[in-house]
Amino acid sequence: MPGRKFIEWFATSNKSFGVNLTPAEGDGESVTFRGSKCQEWLHQLCKAFIDKHAAVLRDNRLTEQGRKEAVQREAGRLLAELKQRYRTFLDPCVSAYQNFDSTRLPALRRATDALSAVERLRIQQSISNLEVKDRVEVLENALRDNDEVVLGTLFDRPQLHRLLDPSLISQARRKYMSQNAPDVIAAETAAAVLTFDFEKVTDELSLFMAGPSSDAVEIHKHLAEIKKLGMAFESNADLEWMLNGGSPSGLPQMDFSSLSDGADLSTASR
């Protein structure tokens, strides 16, 4: 049996997303708060589809073709609503991340004078003489002590200097930012999570359309641009369970192949 679709998970409650955006108590304006409101709205949108789908299947007055058309109309209506509103929630999160001025964090700045450059070169040479496990210890100690001179040396062009694996440096850079610019990490997380959620809902509503949806195409085109920013969020057990199809789908398979792309769906066939 197919695994449960994301639209089914999201319809369960506004706390049924694999990664829930949960603001701090009293928070009414942060990007995390905006993200939580978006997930509440997305929950209602998904629930509307699941409820409509169930109602259509129970309606014995409808022919099989009528059921298909009714479900398709609802999917199209919700895709149009999604296209109209999703950027209202997503854009502020993306903007807060994209417009962050990283130069205000010393460890993320390039050496701006000769003395700084010489100091970084000295530290690079010292670290390069160490075993890998000792280099990792230097990194961990620098993060713990918020030693921005050593961190700046390690963060400076890791693909070029190769003092440590660039992926490890990337993780350390994110941890440094979470310590010194938590609002930026919150914006990155919110934007990445919402992009994931929107992508899943758009994909799954599209499954119930007879042909390509211009609304879905437009949403995916914009989300693809957002993903190029390289934003990310950390997975968790709940999301992995959902991704692995940990629960069977309650949506019956419906064959939409008999519907033509140009069919008039203004009324359901009875």
Least confident stretch, 67-71, 86-90, 101-105, 255-259? 255-259
Mean pLDDT of the chain, nearest integer? 89
Positive or negative, the CA dihedral 34, 39, 42, 48 is: negative
Q: Cβ(28)–Cβ(269) under 8 Å?
A: no
Q: Residue 117 and residue 81: Cα distance in Å, rounded?
A: 53
Q: In the chain, where are the structural domains located?
A: 6-100+184-243, 103-180
Please give, one letter per residue, the 3-state secondary structure of 162-223.
CCCCHHHHHHHHHHHHHHHCHHHHHHHHHHHHHHHHHHHHHHHHHCCCCCCCHHHHHHHHHH
Q: What's this model's pTM, rounded to 2 decimal places? A: 0.83
Question: Residue 268 carries which side chain, given as an amino acid letter?
Answer: A
Nearest to 187 by CA among 85, 102, 108, 95: 95
**Six token digits for residue 191:** 């934007």
Q: Residue 22 and residue 107: Cα distance in Å, rounded?
A: 29
**Six token digits for residue 129:** 């003489």
Give 254's pLDDT tier (boundaries 50, 70, 90): low
